[in-house]
Amino acid sequence: MRMKCSFCKKEIPKGTGKMFVKADGTLFYFCSSKCQNNWKLKRDSKKVNWVRKKQPEEKKSKK
């Protein structure tokens, strides 16, 4: 099973990252403490600039 970060949706290599289990049994996986802390602060990953990736088409259209 491949794990993805619950905040940034980046794939987590085997043997790295953190797993957080809520009291109700819900699992959350984090690739870094940066992702975990942003999740704890209830930030929306769609609005955080470093999570969003620029598409190659967008780069070309800006020129």
- pLDDT value of position 42: 87
Q: Which two tokens stand for residue 51?
A: 């999570």
CA of residue 63 relative to chain centroid, distance: 29
Q: What is the DSSP string of 2-62?
A: -EE-TTT-PEEPTT-SEEEE-TT--EEEESSHHHHHHHHTT--TTT-TTTS---HHHHHHH
Q: Pick one of 3.30.540.10, 1.10.10.10, 2.30.170.20, 3.40.462.20 as the CATH number of 3-62.
A: 2.30.170.20
**Tens digit of pLDDT per residue, the chain (63 long)?**
688 999 988 899 999 999 999 999 999 999 999 999 998 988 888 888 877 765 455 555 555
What's residue 52's pLDDT?
A: 73
Distance between CA atoms of 35 and 30, rounded to whole angstroms?
6
Q: Give residue 2's pLDDT.
A: 81
The domain limits of the chain are 3-62
Q: Please tell me the pTM assigned to this model.
A: 0.71
| pLDDT at 62 (0 to 100) | 58
